[in-house]
Amino acid sequence: MARSALLNVMVQAAMKAGRGLIRDFGEVENLQVSMKGPADFVSNADRRAEEVIFQELSRARPDWGFLMEERGTVEGRDPQHRWIVDPLDGTTNFLHGLPMFAISIALERDGQLVAGVILNPAMDELFTAEKGGGAFLNDRRLRVAARKSLPESLFATGIPFLGQGDHAAALYEMRQIMGETSGIRRMGAAALDLAYVAAGRFDGYWERALRPWDVAAGAVLIREAGGFLSGMDGEKFDHMQGDVACGNEFMHKSLVEQLQQATLRRKAASATLSALPRRNSGNLTRI
């Protein structure tokens, strides 16, 4: 597979950072970690990987800006180009010795996503895509799955955890999808979920409350693999907005419909609960 010079820059940065992550992953018990929030850990490995990527991309394109998970926004002299980077998606997996984590690098040009790289160094899987050039896993061309039957489909999602996300909404959504499909998987790394949809391993994926670096590279992969993305309500996909639903044309449409049904069920249940008479403790008679 012939890669463009731009994609080669991204791949080289990811591969160099990935070698460091693998070394740290082999000594995961010895990592020093700090608490960034409830159940949201940031390791020294995460910071080192981000620094490697920052230095590599800055050396290759010194005028371009960054949006990074740890470093935040770094303004560049070229306002048209910005790298969007997650140096370690799946930190919790990483810290628990699970080999499902990834480096995610995307390029935004004039606000549009034009290239993406996702690397799982533990599995030696490199996903790449560039606008108009197709999507690839290592050297193999990718296409989204062709299934058009919900009962045969397999979906992925994220599940909120301690102190994060809308737990009630997630439960309604999973209950709705469970009743229509052959299963749901929770990988713990949004970038890999998206890459797996592009590779046809999952028929679709949805999740709320994501950040741009979670979805940017994966969105390029899915589009270049022939897939469709939107917000969870079916609105136009925007990597800056935080929620996503995706799959092939049929599965994407069906997923959005099922998620809308889940929202309606939740609203109906809430309305029913609100209509129930409230017990007035002051009128209770002690027996």
Q: Which residue is listed with tokens 């909404």?
A: 169
89 is in an annotated binding site: yes
214 assigned to a ligand binding site: yes
Neighbours of 201 (CB within 10 A): 17
- Alpha helices, DSSP H, located in the chain: 5-25, 44-60, 91-95, 167-178, 190-198, 212-224, 249-275
User: Is 69 labeled as ligand-binding?
Assistant: yes
Annotated binding residue 257: no
Among candidate residues 129, 126, 128, 192, the one with its CA nearest the CA of residue 157: 192
Q: Is 206 exposed, middle or buried (0-12, 13-18, 19+ CB in 10 A)?
A: buried
Give the residue carrying structure tokens 């490199």.
126
State yes or no: 124 annotated in a binding site.
no
Cα of first residue to Cα of last residue in the chain, in angstroms, is 81
- Specify whether the CB–CB gap between 174 and 146 falls below 8 A: no
- Cβ neighbors of 268 (< 8 A, separation 6 or more) are none
For 76, counting Cβ atoms within 10 Å of its Cβ (0-12 exposed, 13-18 middle, 19+ buried), the class is: middle
CA distance 109 to 122: 30
Q: Which residues are annotated as a binding site?
A: 69, 86, 88-89, 214
Q: Which residues are annotated as a binding site for Mg(2+)?
A: 69, 86, 88-89, 214
